[in-house]
Amino acid sequence: MGTNRVVSGMRPTGKLHLGHFHGVLANWKELQQQYECFFFAADWHSLTTEYANTEIIRSSTEEMLLDWLAYGIDPQKSTIFVQSRVPQHAELNLILSMITPLSWLERNPTYKEQLDNLDTKDLSTFGFLGYPVLMASDIIVYKAGKVPVGHDQLPHLEITREIARRFNFLYREVFPEPAALLTETPKVLGTDGRKMSKSYNNAIYLSESDEETKKKIMSMVTDVQRPRRSDPGEPDRCVAFTLHRLYTPESERSEIVASCRGAQIGCVDCKKILARHVIETLAPFREKRGELAEKPRLVEEILDEGSRKATHEAAKTMQDVRSAIKL
Ligand code: TRP
Ligand code: SF4
């Protein structure tokens, strides 16, 4: 039961960048052809770190959903919703919190790491420690069989499985144990050569203008061992070339490789070509996003419908849960 169902969430942190397009979104788009998918904005999860800064959560959620829809996460195929509109996640979270040993949460490597790294925020809260319990609730409230997540989320998914097992053992078999769906995606580098990330300030966003994209691409790091135009370059050492791999057609790309190695093309011209391909590839998304942004009612309707469907499914599970625990 439930094995053909996929659940995944994303914490709203604002606009999505190229790393998301080639990673999680490409993955989701593919999955919706094959599975019954539930995709949601995990706004309660954002609250665990942004509780003192809540005004950004709502606008981030809206921007993120526009990106999903423009990219092709399709409300005809998938159930798209916002976590905080489905209160069953919170009810299940409460129940699961009763059976989750503290030690499982305290030893969670992601917890320890973030506690140390995000030292500008006070994260010594009940809710932050309980992040994996809420995540488990998100997943098993739909009796999901598969959860597409990145490597960083594997410890959380392991806790989900342990919690499901413990519930089934204590009461009765209600939840399937969800499996991780790990899909390899290309690592997208930002303009400075580090991993593309909002926090590094090196990201290219779907929703920015063509001019901004061009400016960022023109500022991208190239082969640092090619200080002069007359020096031969090496695409394998070049950050800009990593984007050529994703956006420039094969035949043109091999010409670039040859011209770079033979010092026949300069980096400025090379990056102009790159900018053109990136902008051309993004054009249909940008157009669609622009259209959707003009239709807030349509987006509202999609979320209303998605939240209604999700609530319906989650409510069924909660009946099983209440009867299993005899409340
Ligand atoms: N913790 C996930 C992340 O930060 C987001 C998330 C919340 C999630 N609930 C989920 C992912 C349920 C998969 C399933 O990326
Ligand atoms: Fe990179 Fe292109 Fe410059 Fe070669 S010519 S170093 S591939 S930007």
Amino acid at 132: P
CA 226 to ligand 2: nearest atom: 6
Query: 207: pLDDT confidence band, cut at 50, 70 and 90?
Result: very high
DSSP 84: G
C-beta of 47 in contact with ligand 1 (< 6 A): no
Nearest ligand, measured from the Cα of 234 = 2
Q: Ligand 1, residues 5, 6, 8, 140: which to mutate, most atoms within 8 A of Cβ?
A: 8
The pLDDT of residue 150 is 87
Amino acid at 65: L
Residues of the chain with CATH 1.10.240.10: 208-289
Query: What interhelical angle do 43-50 and 55-71 show, nearest 10?
Result: 140
Q: Are 166 and 99 in contact (CB under 8 A)?
A: yes
Ligand 2 atom 8, closest CA: 267
User: Residue 284 Cα, ligand 2 centroid: separation in angstroms?
Assistant: 27
C-beta of 153 in contact with ligand 1 (< 6 A): yes
C-alpha to C-alpha distance for 185 and 244, rounded to whole angstroms: 16
Average pLDDT of 138-157?
95
- Is the pLDDT confidence value at 197 over 60? yes
The pLDDT of residue 326 is 96
Q: How far is CA 254 from CA 25, 57, 217, 231, in A?
A: 28, 44, 20, 19
Average pLDDT of 185-201?
93
Nearest ligand, measured from the Cα of 241 = 2
The pLDDT of residue 117 is 80
The pLDDT of residue 178 is 97
Q: Are 166 and 324 in contact (CB under 8 A)?
A: no
Share of the chain above pLDDT 90, in %: 89
CA 265 to ligand 2: nearest atom: 5
Residues of the chain with CATH 3.40.50.620: 5-188+296-324
Ligand 2 atom 7, closest CA: 235
Write out the two tokens for 77: 């195929």
| Top CATH class, 5-188+296-324 | alpha beta
The pLDDT of residue 118 is 75
C-beta of 45 in contact with ligand 1 (< 6 A): yes
| Top CATH class, 208-289 | mainly alpha
Q: Give whichever of 3-12, 75-84, 102-111 has the largest mean pLDDT.
A: 75-84
C-beta of 141 in contact with ligand 1 (< 6 A): no
pLDDT tens-place string over residues 98-129:
999 999 999 998 888 888 887 778 888 999 99
The pLDDT of residue 122 is 85
Ligand 1 atom 10, closest CA: 9
Number of other CB atoms surrounding residue 252 within 10 Å: 11
- Read off φ and ψ for residue 5, nearest 5 degrees: -105, 135
Which has the higher per-residue pLDDT, 186 or 178? Answer: 178
User: Residue 281 Cα, ligand 1 centroid: separation in angstroms?
Assistant: 28
Average pLDDT of 72-88?
98
Measured in whole angstroms, the distance separating CA 184 from the mean position of its chain's CA atoms is: 14
Number of other CB atoms surrounding residue 120 within 10 Å: 6
Ligand 2 atom 3, closest CA: 267
Instruction: Give first-to-last CA distance, the chain, whole Å.
Output: 24
- Is the pLDDT confidence value at 1 over 60? no
pTM over cut 0.85? yes
C-alpha to C-alpha distance for 303 and 318, rounded to whole angstroms: 21
DSSP per residue, 31-93 = HTTTSEEEEEE-HHHHHHHHTT-THHHHHHHHHHHHHHHHHT--TTTSEEEEGGG-THHHHHH
pLDDT tens-place string over residues 223-250:
999 999 999 999 999 999 999 999 999 9
- Read off φ and ψ for residue 242, nearest 5 degrees: -60, -30
User: Residue 9 Cα, ligand 1 centroid: separation in angstroms?
Assistant: 5
Write out the two tokens for 106: 């305290």
The pLDDT of residue 115 is 82
Query: 86: pLDDT confidence band, cut at 50, 70 and 90?
Result: very high
Nearest ligand, measured from the Cα of 138 = 1
